[in-house]
Structure 1
């Protein structure tokens, strides 16, 4: 049985200039109030690139009270602390920053607060009325804002969450550590917030603190990292526990109802019914069946994309995930339904978020590229037959009214999206053929903090997944072919709607239909209206009306567009509702699976 009661961990990353003095001061201070064999000092050296490992090893060899725990890879501040605490021998676990910014005369109070069993957690504070802390504005203002945000969003009673001067009872640490998701700078805050939520006794006491070295607000760590972690923890603690599968299913159903109600703001329901009454119901049903047939292809295409990235899933599950996300896009602004799909595959199949969003990006790029190619091909055909002049006249003012203005806006948007799609494919293909690491250099320009390594790693995973698909010739061809089939069925759906209104599908109408549907789909990429309602119809009408026989006219062209879009939205909504019921998907519960099997276990040196 070990005699060690107190384990002090010193998190060290490139501290060759200070670590020896810090260890010496720590040993001296602990010896002033604890028996000599009752404590240990652990240097938690986190993948350093300087002489810190050599110095820590020498100090451990010279003094039995010193241990060196080494990590070959960067674990992050919180990860290094957890790793060291798990290997510490004491029942009271302490850590503080190696720059000794906090006056060491407070160490006895920190240790004894927990060692005496009076508290489970103790933390120093630089924001209590009794303390003395030299806080320059560039440190004090961000710190005050951060702590105010944590108290407001996470309902913490503490004044200072990031002071690097804390102690934990081992039982409290072992209960809290598995629940903490952050492995970097937010680790301190998450431990304190969750300790309060779990009912542990937390002591906050004032400390005298003097800043050491330079400090600055860091874009990646402070804005992106800490801000997103506050929101994530708030969601986990305050929202997620209130969401049950039954509530989630009910909420999803309500969202679908809202989507239908929103459609009435842009369409006249009575007019839609009149138009439907004038069409052949049997052919409208056929058009719906044709469009529904494209959805298994969407699931199979998504399966091929994920297969290339190393994740092998069934096409039927993925079809359901696509249905749910597209239903969300009919309701949520800014195409937030795409994020819903990333959540579904993460929660149900443990596919990491970077891979989920990367697979979505690949799918979107192929969608836009395919639609652009279809539209461009038909546009060349129209130019070859002399019909392009009529289209140009319509787009530049030859038509008038709300539909014309909406159509002109839509075509401009479509052209911009098409050019962007072609450019994106070019960039992705070019980047897949180079070994240069653009991500890490770009993030490095924004931040020199160690948290930037973590952010760069996430972005690199995202980019690498996209490059994997584009660099695989057979995968590129399969996804491209399935994309062509999907969007061809989308166009065929509209052509069958034309037939339902009694118009024969001659070659000119088929060509115009391909162009109108392609431009309409490009136009609704930007979330200017829910589900693209209005933009799609406007683009469709302004293209169909001048390029087809006069008998069709603006009124019928608009009616066909309304019915075509309504059929597609109805199929999407029905599929989304069915998929939510089938998969019992909770859209608001974060489900964390096991850590990546590829993580490298750090090595230790005692």
Structure 2
């Protein structure tokens, strides 16, 4: 029991410690900065964020379509929102597994197809973010040395994985586990490497992440800050690439820290940079949480049991099959 509690408690304390330090160092100026918050800008940011989630649902629908899994836009969006809500609490992005069990519970996909869909989505997300970062990097002067490898490594890794998929072809094995591995490679290839799927998933991924940047740009405007769009884009890129390393639940603390570093490099005052980073992540997480709660009602009582098991039982297949 203590091991399960500590798995959530320790990363949460790390996140709280990072945020507490960031707020403490600019506390004197923080209250003055917060006074500039305008509800209209916040409403606009929330609307953009909500639309981005619908776009994510549409992209996930397209990914599963490549695996011959058919589902509606509402279902796919709710599926993503519920799993991302779990990620706000569960460390190491284990909340993504919720999606696999939702698809299995509804008889829409096998476990293998669920895992394959997550792999495709994650690759397109990380590579798209990195490419946007590479585009924005020249617009920020004196960036830390670790920015470049953080951006380049996902691009190289994504390209290497695509080449690997093309070279492996359709392989089979009598070994059970190797057979599952080859089957998943075939599924990932089918969902992502055709001309149509690559275009649809690539263009939608760019749209999703530009909307994510736009949310932050609206919040920057709320504080009457003049910051180039490319700088904001680089900040969001670095924040999400750092957040991809599952140190804290939902990347809380590490995401804000990365944004503040980038904003300060562009000449923004530390207090303003901190409050913008915190509000940006708060808006995105609250929209996710609200969508997750609505999704619980959409899926029904069994999804509540699913979420409970995901937090306390490590997503055991045996227990979840009873849900």
Write the deviation string for residues 406-465 of structure 1: whole angstroms up to 9, x where unpaired.
Answer: xxxxxx4x655544422332233223333556785xxxxxxxxxxx72212221221111
2:202 to 480, 493, 498: 480
- 1:541 and 1:262 map into 2 onto residues whose CA distance is 17
Q: Greater relative contact order (Cα 8 A, min sep 6): structure 1 or 2? A: 2
Do the aligned partners of 2:64 and 2:70 also contact (CA within 8 Å) in 1? Answer: yes
Which residue of the partner structure matches residue 310 of structure 1?
A: 68
Which residue of the partner structure matches residue 245 of structure 2?
A: 526
- 1:274 and 1:466 map into 2 onto residues whose CA distance is 50
Q: Secondary structure at the match of 2:136?
A: helix
Q: 1:339 to 1:301 in 2, by over 3 A?
A: same
- 2:261 and 2:91 map into 1 onto residues whose CA distance is 26
Which residue of the partner structure matches residue 254 of structure 2?
A: 535
Which residue of the partner structure matches residue 320 of structure 2?
A: 590
Which residue of the partner structure matches residue 8 of structure 2?
A: none
- 1:355 and 1:293 map into 2 onto residues whose CA distance is 26
- 1:343 and 1:576 map into 2 onto residues whose CA distance is 16
Higher helix share: 2
Which residue of the partner structure matches residue 354 of structure 1?
A: 112
Q: 1:276 to 1:263 in 2, by over 3 A?
A: farther
Q: Secondary structure at the match of 2:167?
A: coil
Say whether residues 1:460 and 2:182 are aligned partners: yes
- 2:13 and 2:288 map into 1 onto residues whose CA distance is 15
2:158 to 425, 441, 446: 425
Do the aligned partners of 1:355 and 1:461 also contact (CA within 8 Å) in 2? Answer: no
Which residue of the partner structure matches residue 469 of structure 1?
A: 191
2:126 to 364, 368, 384: 368
| TM norm structure 2 | 0.82
Q: 1:439 to 1:564 in 2, by over 3 A?
A: farther
Q: 1:376 to 1:498 in 2, by over 3 A?
A: same
Q: 1:415 to 1:535 in 2, by over 3 A?
A: farther
Q: 1:437 to 1:310 in 2, by over 3 A?
A: closer
Q: Secondary structure at the match of 1:321?
A: helix
Do the aligned partners of 1:428 and 1:467 also contact (CA within 8 Å) in 2? Answer: no
2:286 to 570, 581, 606: 570
Where do 1:30-69 residues align within 5 Å?
A: none
- 1:578 and 1:274 map into 2 onto residues whose CA distance is 35
Which residue of the partner structure matches residue 4 of structure 2?
A: none
Write the deviation string for residues 94-140 of structure 1: whole angstroms up to 9, x where unpaired.
Answer: xxxxxxxxxxxxxxxxxxxxxxxxxxxxxxxxxxxxxxxxxxxxxxx
Do the aligned partners of 1:295 and 1:319 also contact (CA within 8 Å) in 2? Answer: yes
- Consecutive unaligned residues in structure 2, runs of 5 or more: 1-10, 310-318
Q: Secondary structure at the match of 1:349?
A: coil
- 1:489 and 1:309 map into 2 onto residues whose CA distance is 27
- Consecutive unaligned residues in structure 1, runs of 5 or more: 1-258, 397-411, 441-451, 593-606
Do the aligned partners of 1:306 and 1:359 also contact (CA within 8 Å) in 2? Answer: yes
Which residue of the partner structure matches residue 267 of structure 1?
A: 19
- 1:367 and 1:429 map into 2 onto residues whose CA distance is 14
Q: State the number of aligned residues.
A: 293
Where do 1:134-149 residues align within 5 Å?
A: none
Higher strand share: 1
Which residue of the partner structure matches residue 90 of structure 2?
A: 332
- 2:168 and 2:209 map into 1 onto residues whose CA distance is 34
Which residue of the partner structure matches residue 547 of structure 1?
A: 266
Do the aligned partners of 1:287 and 1:497 also contact (CA within 8 Å) in 2? Answer: yes
Which residue of the partner structure matches residue 297 of structure 2?
A: 581
Which residue of the partner structure matches residue 448 of structure 1?
A: none
- 1:531 and 1:273 map into 2 onto residues whose CA distance is 26
- 1:352 and 1:273 map into 2 onto residues whose CA distance is 51
Where do 1:84-483 residues align within 5 Å?
A: 266-268=18-20, 276-380=34-138, 382=139, 387-388=140-141, 390-391=142-143, 395=144, 412=146, 418-434=151-167, 440=173, 453-483=175-205
| TM norm structure 1 | 0.45
Moved more, 456-465 or 292-301: 456-465
Which residue of the partner structure matches residue 312 of structure 2?
A: none
Say whether residues 1:515 and 2:257 are aligned partners: no
Q: 1:274 to 1:337 in 2, by over 3 A?
A: farther
Write the deviation string for residues 179-219 of structure 1: whole angstroms up to 9, x where unpaired.
Answer: xxxxxxxxxxxxxxxxxxxxxxxxxxxxxxxxxxxxxxxxx
Do the aligned partners of 2:133 and 2:151 also contact (CA within 8 Å) in 1? Answer: no
- 1:287 and 1:580 map into 2 onto residues whose CA distance is 24
Give how far 1:366 is off: 0.4
Do the aligned partners of 1:428 and 1:470 also contact (CA within 8 Å) in 2? Answer: no
Structure with greater Cα Rg: 1
Do the aligned partners of 1:368 and 1:421 also contact (CA within 8 Å) in 2? Answer: yes
Give how far 1:542 is off: 1.1
Q: 1:439 to 1:554 in 2, by over 3 A?
A: farther
Write the deviation string for residues 345-382 of structure 1: whole angstroms up to 9, x where unpaired.
Answer: 111233111110111010000001111011100113x2
Q: 1:462 to 1:579 in 2, by over 3 A?
A: same
CA-atom RMSD, angstroms?
Answer: 2.7
